[in-house]
Amino acid sequence: MRAAVLTEPGAPLAVVDLEDPTPTAGEVLLQVDACGICGSDLHAADVLPLPGLVMGHELCGTVVDVGPGVEGWAPDDRAAVLSLATCGTCAACLTGRVRKCATAQMVGIERPGGYAELTTMPARDLHRLPDAVDARLGALVEPLAVALHTVQRAEIGIGDNALVLGGGPIGAAVALWLRQAGAHEVIVSDPVAHRRELSLAVGATAVIDPVAEDVASAAAARCGGAPPKHVIECVGLPGLIQHAADVAPVDGIVTVAGVCMAPDQVVPFTMMAKELDVRFAFYYTRPEFDAVIDLLARGRVDVEPLVTDEIGLDQLPDTFEALKRPSEQCKVLITP
C-alpha cells in the first residue's frame, strides 16, 4: 500500500510503499476513504521523533477484511474510527470515557493511522456510518466529537455568551456546537479573514479580528456591554492561555481545547484575581462520538463549509508543510 510517513522531526512527510497491514485477532482491515489533517499532527510532526510512523487520526473507511474473532463487521461495511485503540475492558472503556483508558493507544501517534490506503483498527473502536454520512462527513466525526466534548466540558448554559479564541477546524466546530447547545452570542476571534467567514457560516453570531481590535472590549460590545462568561481557547500556541485569562470576565469560565506542546508562561494572579474556573478538554466520550454521527445522519448540522480542500496522498507532503504556516484553509481531507 502507499502511505505518507514521518521521517525526522520538522522534515516533510515522505510518500512510500509499505507492506499491506494484516488484521490480528479482534482487528479489522480498513480501506481509508478519507482522513483529515489535524493541527495536532502539524505540531507533533515537528517535535516527536517517530521515524516511519503513518500519522492521521481523523478517518473513516470501508472494511476490506476482518481478523480472527471479529463479529458484526463484514467487507463493504463503512465506519468512522475512534482516534484511540482501546482495551475495551477497563472501567473507563466500559463507561465510554475512552481517553481515560490507561492502555489506549493514540491512532496515528502510537499506532499507524490514516495517511495511507489501508489501516487496521480494533473492531470495538469502529462506529458504523449510515449511508447519509458520506466519506467527507465521516472524516469530520472525530474533530466534531472533540469540539462537542469541549462544549460539554465548558458546561454552557442556555442563553450564555461565549468567546472562542481561534476559528480553525476545532474553533469553528465549537462555535457550531455552542449554538446547538443554546448559547446566545458566540463570538469567534481569529486574525485570518477566511476563518472568520467560515466561523460565521457554521454558527458564530459575530467575529473579531484580534489584530485590529481589542478582543475583550470588542467581545463585550457584541454582548450588549457585558463580557461573555465563557472563553474557549482553540488555538494551542504559547501565550493563548494567558490571553484567555486576560479577556475573561470576573467569575468567568475558561475552557482550554488548544493542544500546546511547548512550554508556556502564565501569570496565575490574573486567574486568581478574577476567580476564574479554568478547565481543559481532551478527546471525547464514546456517546459524544455516536451523537455526532447521529446528528450528521439526520442532517441536523451543516458542516460542509469546514472542508476547504480535498487532496490525494501525493499532494500530502506539500500541503502538510503549507498548513504549518497561517493559511486560508480550515479542514483539509486526504482521499487516498
Interface with Zn ion (CB under 5 A): 38, 86-87, 90, 93, 101
Q: CB under 8 Å to 291, separation ≥6 — which residues? A: 148
End-to-end CA distance of the chain: 10
Q: How many whole angstroms separate alpha carbon 189 and alpha carbon 9?
A: 30
Compute the least distance from the CB of residue 287 to Zn ion, in Å. Answer: 16
Q: Which residue carries 502510537 as its cell?
A: 110
Q: For Zn ion, give the closer residue by CB, 38 or 247.
A: 38
Q: For Zn ion, give the closer residue by CB, 215 or 316.
A: 316
Compute the least distance from the CB of residue 324 to Zn ion, in Å. Answer: 15
Q: Where are the beta strands (DSSP E) in the chain?
A: 2-5, 14-17, 27-36, 58-66, 78-81, 84-85, 105-106, 118-122, 126-128, 162-165, 186-189, 206-208, 230-233, 253-256, 277-280, 307-311, 331-334
Q: For Zn ion, give the closer residue by CB, 31 or 86.
A: 86
Compute the least distance from the CB of residue 212 to Zn ion, in Å. Answer: 29
Q: For Zn ion, give the closer residue by CB, 50 or 101.
A: 101
CB 97 within 8 A of CB 104: no
Compute the least distance from the CB of residue 36 to Zn ion, in Å. Answer: 7
Compute the least distance from the CB of residue 86 to Zn ion, in Å. Answer: 5
Other C-beta atoms within 10 Å of 110: how many? 13
Q: For Zn ion, give the closer residue by CB, 146 or 219.
A: 146
Q: How many whole angstroms separate alpha carbon 32 and alpha carbon 193?
A: 32
Compute the least distance from the CB of residue 313 to Zn ion, in Å. Answer: 18
Q: For Zn ion, give the closer residue by CB, 152 or 270.
A: 152
